[in-house]
Amino acid sequence: MVASEGGGSMRDIYVIDTETTGLSGGPEDLVVEIGISKVDLSTGDVEDIFASFVGWPESTLMQRKNAWVFKNTDMNFWKVIGAPRALRVIDRVREILCGELVTSYNTEFDFDRFLYRDPWGMQGIFAECNCIMTSVWKAFPEMGHNGYFPKLQTAYSALCPDDPAGIGGIQRHRALSDANMAANVLYRLYRQGKYRLGA
């Protein structure tokens, strides 16, 4: 299919989510899980494409064993240690996303702080679409709180009351589940004429 905003056939948009050991970005913090969903803007169908823990040397991860993601989600620290090595996951993600239209709920976080930095080096691999979170905020500023952008859970609950991602009302803070939520939010925005692929 060919990308078009003029009502013709639409190309799928890939939506990424990362779970990380902190908020500062790489190389201080690490991506420990990545999930990719795909939304077809002509139908609204959301498909889960890829999910993986991202393995790092045990000595590297041990320095980050008290990260929020290990204390506040069901993510198991030891499964991350035993996961496929980072470079293997990075190669697979590059294969999936090469030449595609890609976004995330928070592109400044996922892309600028992690995926565009080493060792991911994804800059120029795919075409970055507009940030979903920023689009939600522009369309519905009341969803923000105390000057902050709307959280994914807030946007999803408001725009997707039928729960197409099947989260049962609670965001899991796991990469694939969050990517699926974000893809559904993107579609609902797009359907309302409140999401554009690019600036």
Nearest 10 degrees: CA dihedral of 105, 187, 129, 147? -40
Domain that holds residue 185: 13-191
DSSP state of 148: B
Upstream peptide bond of 27 is cis (omega within 30 degrees of 0) = yes
pLDDT at position 100 is: 96
Classify residue 63: in a domain, yes or no: yes
CATH of the domain at 155: 3.30.420.10
**Structural domain includes residue 117:** yes
Three-state secondary structure call for residue 48: strand
Does residue 156 form part of some domain?
A: yes
Residue type, position 174, single letter: R
Q: In this structure, is residue 68 part of a structural domain?
A: yes
Q: Is residue 4 part of a domain?
A: no
Separation CA 69–CA 7 (nearest Å)? 41
> Is residue 7 assigned to a domain?
no
pLDDT at 15: 99
Phi, psi of 190 (to 5 degrees): -60, -45
Domain-embedded: residue 2: no
Q: What string of pLDDT tens digits covers the 199 residues of the chain?
A: 233 333 333 589 999 999 999 999 999 999 999 999 999 999 999 999 999 999 999 999 999 999 999 999 999 899 899 999 999 999 999 999 999 999 999 999 999 999 999 999 999 999 999 999 999 999 999 999 888 999 999 999 999 999 999 999 999 999 999 999 999 999 999 999 999 998 5
Is residue 179 within 8 Å of residue 16, measured between CB atoms? yes
- How many domains does the chain divide into? 1
Its pTM stands at 0.92
